[in-house]
Structure 1
Amino acid sequence: MARFRLAGYCAVAGVLLLSAPVASLADPLVLTSPNFTDGGKLPVKHAGALKTNPNCVGENVSPAFAWNDPPEGTKSFAFVVYDPDGGRGLGVYHWVAYGIAPDRRSFAEGDVGQPSDKFVGGKNTAGLNFYLGPCPPPNTGQHHYNFSLIATDLEPNALPPGLTRDELVEKLKGHAKGVGTIVGLFGR
């Protein structure tokens, strides 16, 4: 079911990948987390912790992530966390990051819940340049949080800080080499 809910986001990823050489798609990029399984529930500690938002009931501890070797020619990674169920159906971006070094293969738990030199921070829906965990309103069902790692052929310093998700997608056209996605569920 989680994969079905990803249709819109996967369509965007598919558009990005259309310009990638076919050979780069031979070995898919696989993203995993020891904190939740694909399609499994996110622990409460990974939910957001904004004092100004009563729907944020967690500790804003970012999950740990690991990934396999990227497609050949990868020079950096981008990472986007998207809730297609949030924003009353318009979607909410919880983390937009890029400029992640090509030799990095993981983030430890808590690594991206604040600005860091491990990534260039874009702007999430709340205007923050770091991970903001789930903050769904009560009684809105399980939200599907899509954690997507994108391999790119852009140098880590190629893009300026502060890009929104839409601006990032525009800059990645013709530069995406592969994507790995894992979905976590959270609701109240």
Structure 2
Amino acid sequence: MSTDNPFTRLPEAASFTVTSTTVADGAAWSPEQLSGIAGVPGGKDISPQLSWHGAPDGTRSYAVTVYDPDAPTGSGFWHWAVADIPATVGELPEGAGDDTGSGLPEGAFQLPNDARAARFFGAAPPPGHGPHRYLVVVYALDVASIGVPADATPAFLGFVMSGHTLGRAVLTATAETPA
């Protein structure tokens, strides 16, 4: 597992807090957050519960991403991206990232992940590749709508957010598939 922090390459932003009843910071995902789509035993592709607080003044919306910087792709792997979460919202329930986004607040939408599905794609590190980090990030933004199309990539969302990010809250989960 690399210790590279991809956020050191981004503009500075205030820190705030994200927690989860699903996974503790630094702990392994439960089987529910592993990928059944990719055939991981016990995997169910259920998005984690997330709560956040302490965002900077001026926050007008949030976005949430789940990213694996350790994926053997040269560009990591985006597991989930949600945009346009209203500033009045401070929590997403477990399972919000299903095929329909049934647990998302009105106005929020999921972008296609790197498997090209607009939903949460659970952890699926290659067998024997070692532990992977999953960076669960809540972004506090200075706009009510980030203005990206629903079919945009999470990388494009990140590019557009770079000029609108007031704060970032980061929780790191892990997963490893034995050889």
Identify which of 28, 31, 37 aligns with 2:24: 37
TM-score normalised to structure 2 length: 0.87
- Contact preservation (8 Å) 1:99, 1:159: no
C-alpha root-mean-square deviation of aligned residues, in Å? 2.0
**Equivalent in the alignment of 2:93:** 108
Q: How does 1:95-134 map to 2 (within 5 A)?
A: 95-116=80-101, 117-118=104-105, 119-134=108-123
| CA distance, structure 2, for counterparts of residue 154 and residue 36 of structure 1 | 29
Does 1:81 find its partner at 2:66? Answer: yes
Equivalent residue pairs, number = 173
1:9-66 CA-to-partner distances (Å, cap 9, x unmatched) read 2124x32x3xx6xxxx3xx31111112211111111111121xx33475011111110
Hey, what's the Cα distance between the residues in 2 that align with 1:153 and 1:5? Answer: 30
Residue 132 of structure 1, CA deviation: 0.8
Residue 70 of structure 1 pairs with residue 55 of structure 2: yes
CA distance in 1: counterparts of 2:163 and 2:112, whole angstroms: 22
Q: Is the 8 A contact 2:136 2:171 kept in 1?
A: yes
CA distance in 1: counterparts of 2:58 and 2:41, whole angstroms: 39
Aligned residue in 1 for 2:8: 11
Does residue 90 of structure 1 match 2:75?
yes
**2:46, 2:98 within 8 Å by CA — same for their partners in 1?**
yes
Q: Residue 79 of structure 2: SS of its match in structure 1?
A: strand
Q: Please identify which structure carries the higher helix content.
A: 1
Match for residue 135 of structure 1? 124
Aligned partners of 2:70 and 2:133 also within 8 Å: yes
Residue equivalent to 1:61 = 46
User: Is contact 2:146-2:161 (8 Å) kept?
Assistant: no
Moved more, 154-163 or 60-69: 154-163
Q: 1:6 to 1:65 in 2, by over 3 A?
A: farther
1:135 deviates by: 1.3
Deviations 1:64-119 (A, max 9, x none): 11000421111111111111111345311101221111111111111123332532
Task: Go from structure 1 to structure 2 and tell me whether the alpha carbon gap of 1:55 and 1:137 turns closer, same or farther (over 3 Å shift).
Answer: farther
SS at match of 2:125: coil
1:118-173 Cα shifts (integer Å, max 9, x gaps): 32222211111121110112111111100011010111373321221221122113
Distance 1:164 1:97, change over 3 A: same
For normalisation by structure 1, the TM-score amounts to: 0.83
